Amino acid sequence: MTVSMYTASVPVLERALSNLRVILEKGAAHAAAKKIEPSVLLNARLFPDMFPLSRQVQIAADMAKGCAGRLAGLEIPKFEDTESTFPELIARLDKTIAFVKTATPEQVNGTEEKTVTLPSRNGTMEFKGLSYLFNFVLPNVHFHATTTYDILRHNGVELGKSDYIGAL
């Protein structure tokens, strides 16, 4: 059986962001129920040199929309990284999911050897499509989603593995 680039990207990214959305909703509900100022959770970090929860969500969204756009040849929407509330972060995920879903199998399939060039702090990174997806995008999306989960769980939000994995 062959797995297509589309199947390995768009549905996987959509699921990860949808599950991240559920995690954020539970974080917001926890803050309200426990009378915790939401900004406390949104600015929480696992360690001082790590990004806060809000930035973890932004990066996960950026990775997903960048992947869909680059592989499908679509213009990638620019988000300003100004979200400071749970509803704003959830709205960002909704916009990202909607964009990711615009990438079609016809646009994404066959991009295994497509050259993907990204600017970075250390210069330019260049990938082939397959490596970009499996070795850069998916690990990054899951890292930042996991870190968001971990920050909220560490701060008492009742989350479980099923929240991260989602319905099967």
Q: Of 142, 129, 118, 125, nearest to 72 (Cα)?
A: 129
**Is the predicted pLDDT of residue 53 greater than 90, yes or no?**
yes
Average pLDDT, the chain: 97
Q: 40 is written with which tokens? A: 């406390």
The gap between the terminal CA atoms of the chain, to the nearest Å, is 21
**Is the predicted pLDDT of residue 28 greater than 80, yes or no?**
yes
Instruction: Please give the pLDDT value at position 47.
Output: 96
Query: Per-domain residue ranges for the chain?
Result: 5-161
Instruction: Please give the pLDDT value at position 95.
Output: 98
pTM (predicted TM-score): 0.96
How far apart, in Å, are the Cα atoms of 97 and each of 18, 60, 108, 156, 157?
Answer: 8, 11, 16, 27, 24
Helix, coil or strand: residue 159: coil
31/43 Cα distance (integer angstroms): 13
Instruction: Please give the pLDDT value at position 77.
Output: 97
Query: Which amino acid does the sequence have at 94?
Result: D
- Per-residue model confidence as pLDDT tens digits over 117-164: 998 889 999 999 999 999 999 999 999 999 999 999 999 999 999 999
* Domain 5-161 class in CATH: mainly alpha
Q: Of 38, 73, 63, nearest to 52 (Cα)?
A: 38
Q: 9 is written with which tokens? A: 């990207």
**Is the predicted pLDDT of residue 8 greater than 90, yes or no?**
yes
